Amino acid sequence: RSKPLDKYFGTEWKRSIKDLSQYDKRCRKDDYPGEETSKKFNGRTFPHTLQKPDKGKGPAYEDLWNFPFLDEVLLDLAKVIVDKESLGEDNSTDLLNIGLSMSDAVGH
């Protein structure tokens, strides 16, 4: 059975702006007072790694709520729905609404 979420364990969440001088101009300091320190994040600064499960334990899927990867999962699901439901294949209007909101979960 497919477990599409498992591919994210061990994945790093990195800053999207790699040039530090540009990052400093456009963003607040990475180590900012009030940010949560969590073992799930390996500290307060980027990069953050979604930890692989310990031996003998299953994946901690609830940890995905602390990372932006679930929006990507949702878009992958939308592609499957478009294909399986043959959206856009006939003369009738098809509408598929998708709300991407992981930035709310990881940014607040």
What would the pLDDT profile of 28-37 be if each residue is shown by its tens digit? 888 877 776 6
Q: Which two tokens stand for residue 55?
A: 């031996």
pLDDT at 87: 96
Number of domains in the chain: 1
Q: Which two tokens stand for residue 23?
A: 């990052």
What would the pLDDT profile of 37-92 be if each residue is shown by its tens digit? 666 667 778 888 888 888 888 888 888 888 889 999 999 999 999 999 999 999 99
For 4-102, list the strands marked E by DSSP: 12-13, 48-49
Which H or E element spans position 104?
Answer: helix 102-107
Tell whether pTM > 0.75: no
Task: Tell me the residue range of the domain where 51 lies.
Answer: 4-107
